[in-house]
Structure 1
Amino acid sequence: MEQIYQCQDLDEVREQIDRVDRALVALIAERGIYVRQAAAFKHSREEVEGGRRVDQVMRRVERLAGELGADAARTAAVYRTMIEYFVADEMAVFRARAGKD
């Protein structure tokens, strides 16, 4: 992780949080684009739900959380929620594609 800026007051803290939020939202949007692309390569509902892949991602994320000093349980909870929504989005894309075949 890059060096953390030492804020001098609450306004600076909020500025830094806003900066981080903007970066997080941009990365979530980018991740969503790839999730929707993934639907084009999957041939079944089971592939879209991706239990094994979800487990793999969760193990990697929990390991990364430890390496980067984040709370592993909190990070895992955020990721599980995010993945749930992305799987639902991917399923909608998959169903729409399957309906056109």
Structure 2
Amino acid sequence: MGARRKTCKDMNDVRDAIDALDREIVTLLADRLHFIGEAARIKNSRDAVRDEARIEDVIAKIRAAATATGMNPDFIEPLYRDLVERSIAHEFALFDRRHADKGSR
């Protein structure tokens, strides 16, 4: 990813680069959300949705990845904690819907 870092000639270059990255980020987040849905489908217990050890593992990995790219891990951690919490809420909703649908048959 670092290979894309370039010196921009003007603000249009900056904005174009940011817009392109934002589109990629949204696509990656959509992919991540797909796998959250897979987790909701696979897990048999609502208690398995929130896994504190897994949360801390994800945060540790994201901090390490940030450090490896030269990014301040303290910048990314709160963003990721919010993403993880929103992902868990989404997974709970999907899990509950899936089990409510099973019960209505």
Same-fold call, TM > 0.5? yes
| Runs of 4 or more consecutive aligned structure 1 residues displaced over 3 Å after TM superposition | none
Q: SS of the residue aligned with 2:3? A: coil
**Within 5 A, what are the aligned runs for 1:1-101?**
1-99=2-100, 100-101=102-103
Q: Determine helix, strand or coil for the equivalent of 2:92.
A: helix
Q: How many residues align?
A: 101
CA apart distance, 1:45 = 2.5
**What are the ranges of 5 or more consecutive residues in structure 1 without an aligned counterpart?**
none
Unaligned runs of 5+ in 2: none
Compute the TM-score of the two structures, normalised by the length of structure 1: 0.93
Tell me the CA shift for residue 44 of structure 1.
Answer: 2.0
- TM-score where L is the length of structure 2: 0.90
Q: Tell me how far apart the structure 2 counterparts of residues 3 and 31 of structure 1 sit (CA, whole Å).
A: 22
One-letter code aligned to 2:87: F
TM-superposed deviation, 1:3: 4.1
RMSD: 1.1
Amino acid aligned to 2:97: A
